[in-house]
Amino acid sequence: MQQLHFNEIAQIVNGKIFAACNNNLPVVDSVITDSRLVHAPANALFVALKGPVYNGHHFISELNAKGVNAFLVDEKEAITPEAAFILVDDTRTALQKLAAAIRKSFTGPVVGITGSNGKTIVKEWLNELLAADRKIVRSPKSFNSQIGVPLSVLLMNNSYNLAIIEAGISQPGEMEKLEPVIHPEIGILTNIGDAHQEFFDSTTQKLYEKLALFKHSKTLIARMDDALIYSKVKPFCANHNIEALFWSTENTSCPIFFTVEKRENSCLIHARIHQNNFTFSIPFTDESAIENACHCFVALHALKGQTPPILKRFGQLQQLAMRLEIKRGINQNILINDYYNSDLNSLSIALSVLQQQAANKGQKKVLILSDIQQTGLPASALYTKVNQLIKTWGIDQLIGIGPAISANRKQFSVAAGFFSNSNDFVQRFPYQSIHSAAILIKGARQFRFEKISGLLQQKAHQTVLEINLNAIVNNLNTFRARLHKHTKIVVMVKAFSYGSGDVEIARLLQHQNVDYLAVAVADEGMQLRNAGISLPIIVMNPERDSFQNMITHRLEPNIYDTALLRSFAQNAAEFGVSHFPIHLKIDTGMNRLGLKTQNELQECLLIIRQSETVKVSSVFSHLAGSDDPALDSFTQEQFATFDKATAFIAQKLPYSFDRHILNSAGIERFPEKQYEMVRLGIGLYGISPSGLALENISTLKSTISQIKYLQANESVGYGRRGTVSAASKIAVVPIGYADGIHRKLGNHNGSAFVHGKKAPIIGNICMDMLMLDVSGIDAHAGDKVEFFGPHIPIEEIAQQLDTIPYEVLTGISQRVKRIYLRE
Ligand SMILES: *Cc1c(COP(=O)(O)O)cnc(C)c1O
């Protein structure tokens, strides 16, 4: 961002300065809100924000030690003599004020985009269309929240001549606050749907909220074909003196009218705009791409930019891989793909993910980086900054690709190799030379890094389970918000984290500072240790054969009977360890594993007190019916039994221990029984029995291999079970019961989501394939098919199979590749 003096910032945000030495106040050239993303600390201002579980004020001393000297806070107690502070009433409001001031001094036009869907795509496409002609600053990724918008706007400075900023809201009143921050001259309302509806009374109310962004705009772009939008936007524009640019594909009397000609893999779009005609093509056929492209065209018109060379670029637009992907690579590498944009901000975010994935100590960190574009900095200063970042994040090897980064090779102080473009890299790089490393592939789109990733990744698969790591963090935080600040969390990662994968999830959780992980058997724990996980790990089902491995790998056993305890204590003694942590399990009514009688308990305590080898770290029990209100009185009896047992143990042991009995449903329904610790399982993975608003984390997807057209009375698959009564269109999909699609879902019991519609599974499911009836659906070979995920809840499949979501999730076979996504 443009440089501001500490004093100026204090004035803008109306804050009070606290600093030991008033004539040596810092100059600020960047703002951070995430304590993990610090680079170039000397001129950074840390804004301490508070969320339901995160309080930036707690990181001040840590950041100060890293070299950050300027802080914006709203808790007076956070102020120390070691740094310069600005105290305000509310840091979030202050951040917005600061951004609004930066916005005021920006002279170029600002395009503001809101709506339910397509915001990020319209923003990115506009950027691609105009990047060669303008200097554009835009929101990184989909930064569009109350915090993301100000952080985007802070990137503005007058070396740019166009800004494109997106805004999203989830509650009434939010847009009011973003309006002065963005203050767009040209507005785009993409559409209105029912996303984020829970805090609004109606879609109309939500529409009015969104329109608040445009109340001072000169021009507003919206689609006439949505009756609600047209009926509200028209008077809104009239009242606020805004030029309304409505467009339509249906109403020929609309001054901006589009005719769409669909081809096999593309569309030809004819635009008529006040009697002038234009034609361009886009490489997509789906309705949302058409709508997004029309919005872009009208925005070009508003910016006076619909020239032939720009229109030609519509043909090269690409589906955005907007999220960063984590995949398994060849040679035991981990690949982090983020080749959708490249700027300093998104580079630091991606480096923090690299750091997290390379948790295994000594794992080599490699960065493959393209030229960085449009920063407004001179190249040598830019690559000196990049080198600083590379050093801060401890990158071991840099591979620079592109003319600019190659020309600036002397700015780098790590081991580095340079290539003029991706093809040069593909031909010359001995890519077998990177082993067991974490590799970040980060580049601007035109460098086509997908080629490089294709070479380095394990063979691509058509059937994948996509895991959304952001959703996992959000679910974790939803649970944290229901717990006291100091309650510890054990996350259950047994059975490959309920089917969603093991080390990637464990690394994420380690980074999120959970207190323990729990696995079912010692082997699962050893895999985590070998991958560098250092969190305490509890083994729920320890087997005698594995005790030695458990002790050497610091895996803590669940002790559920006396014989087991004796044997474990003896092994520990043979290894010469003392006070090895164990977890005592009390059976309070589940009648599965656990110490049940007073005698058993007494005997165990005797062994524990006599032996120095083990130490009770926690005492726990498991609820049999925490999700079922009909069993609440039984659950209360379990609590009472647990209280009695733990009180008894507390009397007998000379030290204290943690108590825990709640699983996910228990945390939702009996938070008053959280004691010192809870065990989170299925809730983290997005399933709630009590209707808590959790996010879906996994999507099972495949790809259509072939389309078949059948006559009436022909049949599909084994046993001729799928006989069709009329002419039908059938899609063959490479996923079968060996992948975890239960065979009971065949013969119209289950379905998949294709092109916005549900298509029933027809005939018997085969081992590696199944067939869908896609009659009446615009489906082609190569199209994606969802089996569960955002459109088909896992609960629905569980119901069809008369089972529970746990079984569906853990039933997805290991041969289905897991792909991890991060916003
Ligand atoms: C699996 C498990 C849990 C987690 O249960 P959820 O219902 O998935 O939250 C908790 N405690 C024990 C002992 C478990 O085995």
DSSP H stretches of helix in 263-413? 287-302, 308-312, 344-357, 379-392, 403-407
Q: Output the pLDDT for position 392.
A: 85
Q: Which atom of ligand 1 is nearest to the CA of 620?
A: 13
Amino acid residing at 234: K
Q: Output the pLDDT for position 197.
A: 67
Q: What are phi and psi of 379, to 5 degrees?
A: -55, -40
Predicted confidence (pLDDT) at residue 152 exceeds the cutoff of 70: yes
Mean pLDDT of 33-49: 84
Predicted confidence (pLDDT) at residue 290 exceeds the cutoff of 70: yes
Strand segments (E) across 224-363:
243-248, 256-262, 267-273, 276-282, 324-328, 334-338
Predicted confidence (pLDDT) at residue 465 exceeds the cutoff of 80: yes
Token match 């340079």: residue?
418
Of 375-384, 552-561, 719-728, the range with the lowest mean pLDDT is 375-384
Amino acid residing at 727: A
Ligand 1 centroid to residue 484 C-alpha, Å: 20
Q: Which atom of ligand 1 is nearest to the CA of 679?
A: 10
Grade residue 264 by pLDDT with cuts at 50, 70 and 90.
Answer: confident
Q: Output the pLDDT for position 532.
A: 85
Record the tokens describing residue 161, joined without a space. Answer: 């001549």
Rg (Cα) of the chain, in Å, rounded? 29
Ordered DSSP codes for 734-784: S--GGGT--GGGTTTT-EEEETTEEEEEES---SS-EEEE-TTS---TT-E
Predicted confidence (pLDDT) at residue 373 exceeds the cutoff of 80: no
Find the residues whose C-beta lies inside 6 A of ligand 1: 492, 540, 622, 663-665, 679, 681-683
pTM tops 0.85, yes or no: no
Q: How far apart are CA 569 and CA 614, in angstroms?
A: 6
Measured distance between the N- and C-terminal CA atoms of the chain, rounded to whole angstroms: 23
Q: Output the pLDDT for position 272.
A: 95
Half-sphere exposure for 647 (CA within 13 Å, toward CB):
6
Ligand 1 centroid to residue 673 C-alpha, Å: 15
Grade residue 262 by pLDDT with cuts at 50, 70 and 90.
Answer: confident
Q: Which atom of ligand 1 is nearest to the CA of 498?
A: 8
**Contacts of residue 427, Cβ cutoff 8 Å, sequence gap at least 6:** none
496 closest CA partner among 813, 741, 805, 735: 813
Q: Which atom of ligand 1 is nearest to the CA of 667?
A: 9
Token match 């201002």: residue?
45
- Of the candidates 494, 585, 596, 817, the residue annotated as catalytic is 494
Ligand 1 centroid to residue 665 C-alpha, Å: 9
Q: Output the pLDDT for position 317.
A: 87
Mean pLDDT of 113-123: 92
Predicted confidence (pLDDT) at residue 361 exceeds the cutoff of 60: no
Q: Output the pLDDT for position 459.
A: 66
- 3-state DSSP call for residue 673? helix
Counting ligand 1 atoms within 8 A of each CB, the residue from 679, 680, 692, 806 with the most, and so the one to mutate, is: 679
Q: Which atom of ligand 1 is nearest to the CA of 520?
A: 15
Q: Output the pLDDT for position 762.
A: 97
Q: Output the pLDDT for position 402.
A: 94
Ligand 1 centroid to residue 663 C-alpha, Å: 5
Going by alpha carbons, the residue nearest to atom 15 of ligand 1 is 540
Tell me how crowded residue 528 is: count the other CB atoms within 10 A of its CB.
Answer: 23
Ligand 1 centroid to residue 486 C-alpha, Å: 21
Q: Which atom of ligand 1 is nearest to the CA of 666?
A: 9
List 328's β-bridge partners, or say none.
334
Q: Output the pLDDT for position 147.
A: 92
Find out whether 759 and 773 touch, Cβ atoms under 8 Å: yes
Mean predicted lDDT score pLDDT of the chain: 91
Q: How far apart are CA 659 and CA 644, in angstroms?
A: 12
Tell me how crowded residue 705 is: count the other CB atoms within 10 A of its CB.
Answer: 13
298 closest CA partner among 481, 525, 122, 89: 122
Mean pLDDT of 150-154: 94
Predicted confidence (pLDDT) at residue 73 exceeds the cutoff of 90: yes
Ordered DSSP codes for 25-85: PPEE-EEE-SGGG--SGGGEEEE--B-SS-BGGGGHHHHHHTT--EEEES-GGG--TTSEE
Record the tokens describing residue 306, joined without a space. Answer: 């619909």
Give pLDDT tens digits for 209-243.
Answer: 999 999 999 999 999 999 999 999 999 999 999 99
Q: Which atom of ligand 1 is nearest to the CA of 806?
A: 8
Find out whether 517 and 491 touch, Cβ atoms under 8 Å: yes
Q: Output the pLDDT for position 356.
A: 78
Ligand 1 centroid to residue 361 C-alpha, Å: 30
- 3-state DSSP call for residue 631? helix
Record the tokens describing residue 131, joined without a space. Answer: 């990047």
Amino acid residing at 205: Q
% pLDDT > 70, the chain: 97
**Contacts of residue 467, Cβ cutoff 8 Å, sequence gap at least 6:** 500, 501, 504, 505, 697, 698, 818, 819, 820, 821
Going by alpha carbons, the residue nearest to atom 6 of ligand 1 is 681
Of 388-392, 405-409, 459-463, 492-496, the range with the lowest mean pLDDT is 459-463
Counting ligand 1 atoms within 8 A of each CB, the residue from 476, 663, 810 with the most, and so the one to mutate, is: 663
Give pLDDT tens digits for 606-623.
Answer: 999 988 899 999 999 999
Ligand 1 centroid to residue 672 C-alpha, Å: 18
Counting ligand 1 atoms within 8 A of each CB, the residue from 622, 809, 810 with the most, and so the one to mutate, is: 622
Mean pLDDT of 409-436: 88
Q: Output the pLDDT for position 321.
A: 60
Find out whether 257 and 271 touch, Cβ atoms under 8 Å: yes
Going by alpha carbons, the residue nearest to atom 13 of ligand 1 is 622
Predicted confidence (pLDDT) at residue 736 exceeds the cutoff of 90: yes
Ordered DSSP codes for 675-732: TTEEEE-TTTTT--TT-------EEEEEE--EEEEE-TT-EESGGG-EE-SS-EEEEE
β-strands 706-710, 364-370: how paired?
Answer: unpaired
**Contacts of residue 43, Cβ cutoff 8 Å, sequence gap at least 6:** 3, 26, 27, 28, 29, 30, 70
Mean pLDDT of 262-280: 91
Higher pLDDT, residue 2 or 398 = 398
Q: Output the pLDDT for position 302.
A: 96
Ligand 1 centroid to residue 492 C-alpha, Å: 7
* DSSP structure class, residue 584: E
Ligand 1 centroid to residue 560 C-alpha, Å: 16
Mean pLDDT of 110-129: 93
Is 160 designated active site?
Answer: no
Predicted confidence (pLDDT) at residue 359 exceeds the cutoff of 80: no
Higher pLDDT, residue 54 or 815 = 815
Grade residue 568 by pLDDT with cuts at 50, 70 and 90.
Answer: very high
Q: Which atom of ligand 1 is nearest to the CA of 627?
A: 7
Give pLDDT tens digits for 469-528.
Answer: 999 999 999 999 999 989 999 999 999 999 998 788 999 999 888 999 999 999 999 999
Ligand 1 centroid to residue 681 C-alpha, Å: 5
Q: Which atom of ligand 1 is nearest to the CA of 622?
A: 13
- The packing angle between helices 503-511 and 522-530, to 10°, is 70
Predicted confidence (pLDDT) at residue 811 exceeds the cutoff of 60: yes
400 closest CA partner among 374, 378, 375, 382: 382
Of 35-44, 141-150, 787-796, the range with the lowest mean pLDDT is 35-44
Record the tokens describing residue 382, joined without a space. Answer: 């830019």
Going by alpha carbons, the residue nearest to atom 10 of ligand 1 is 663
- Of the candidates 312, 391, 708, 718, the residue annotated as catalytic is 718
Mean pLDDT of 573-594: 94
Find out whether 86 and 9 touch, Cβ atoms under 8 Å: yes
Ligand 1 centroid to residue 494 C-alpha, Å: 9
Q: Which atom of ligand 1 is nearest to the CA of 683?
A: 9
**How far is C-alpha 256 from the geometric centre of its chain's CA atoms?**
38
Counting ligand 1 atoms within 8 A of each CB, the residue from 482, 483, 492 with the most, and so the one to mutate, is: 492
- 3-state DSSP call for residue 149? helix
Give pLDDT tens digits for 4-36.
Answer: 999 999 999 999 999 987 767 889 988 999 877
**Contacts of residue 595, Cβ cutoff 8 Å, sequence gap at least 6:** 560, 561, 562, 584, 585, 586, 587, 601, 604, 645
Predicted confidence (pLDDT) at residue 410 exceeds the cutoff of 90: yes
Mean pLDDT of 398-408: 95
Ligand 1 centroid to residue 692 C-alpha, Å: 17
Of 57-66, 187-196, 720-729, the range with the lowest mean pLDDT is 187-196
- The packing angle between helices 598-610 and 562-574, to 10°, is 10
Q: Output the pLDDT for position 528.
A: 92
Grade residue 587 by pLDDT with cuts at 50, 70 and 90.
Answer: very high
Is 494 designated active site?
Answer: yes
Q: Output the pLDDT for position 132.
A: 86
Going by alpha carbons, the residue nearest to atom 12 of ligand 1 is 622
Grade residue 748 by pLDDT with cuts at 50, 70 and 90.
Answer: very high
